[in-house]
Amino acid sequence: MAIAWERVGEFARAVLRATAAIPYGRTAAYGELAARAGRPGAARAAGASLARNPWPIIVPCHRVVG
């Protein structure tokens, strides 16, 4: 399935791609995703990106914990 990644900004795209890579049955923290997106310490920004996730069925933001 093709995802229109250009609909979101660069940081949000990196966070959403990192979220999409979380395996079934696993979780990740906001800080982990921020670090994977290249901005350690931006956990709140990662959370904001996930709050605006335009593809909640495809990008499993329910696997991210505080």
Cβ atoms 24, 16 nearer than 8 A: no
61 is an active site residue: yes
How many Å apart are CA 46 and CA 1, to the nearest integer? 24
The residue annotated as part of the active site, out of 43, 61, 65, 66, is: 61
At residue 40, the 3 state secondary structure works out as: coil
Q: Catalogue the active-site residues.
A: 61
